[in-house]
Amino acid sequence: MGYPITHGRIKPRLAKQPRHLDRVAAMGCLVCGGPAEVHHERTGHRARDDSYVVPLCPLHHRDGAVGFHGLGSASAFRDMHDICLPTVAEWLRDESIAMGIIRNGHD
């Protein structure tokens, strides 16, 4: 169940929340509104979780000057773009639960 997720630094795996990932990616980049991919947001000691994602275009996801991974932290991204990624990820997760896309925090 799910579809493969690939990333240059990790082995491909199956998405646990494919409908949620598709919904979030379809929203467009939070910064520029362009076509988006999902960024997995981690807060505290929570492991990578397909429920906590935000839509970012490749530039704002990975670019060294303006992208999350180039800036290196959620706080640096927030300072540059005035967007709190952990808060947005929580809102999007809560919306998907309310819509029945994620049931009780699980697919």
Render pLDDT for 89-98 as a digit per residue (tens, 0 to 9). Answer: 999 999 999 9
Q: What is the mean pLDDT of the chain?
A: 84
102 secondary structure, DSSP code: S
Per-residue pLDDT at 18: 87
For residues 94 and 8, what is the distance between their CA atoms, to the nearest angstrom?
A: 29
pLDDT at 8 over 60: no
Is pTM beyond 0.85? Reply is: no
Closest of 17, 11, 26 to residue 3, by C-alpha: 17
Q: Are 13 and 4 in contact (CB under 8 A)?
A: yes
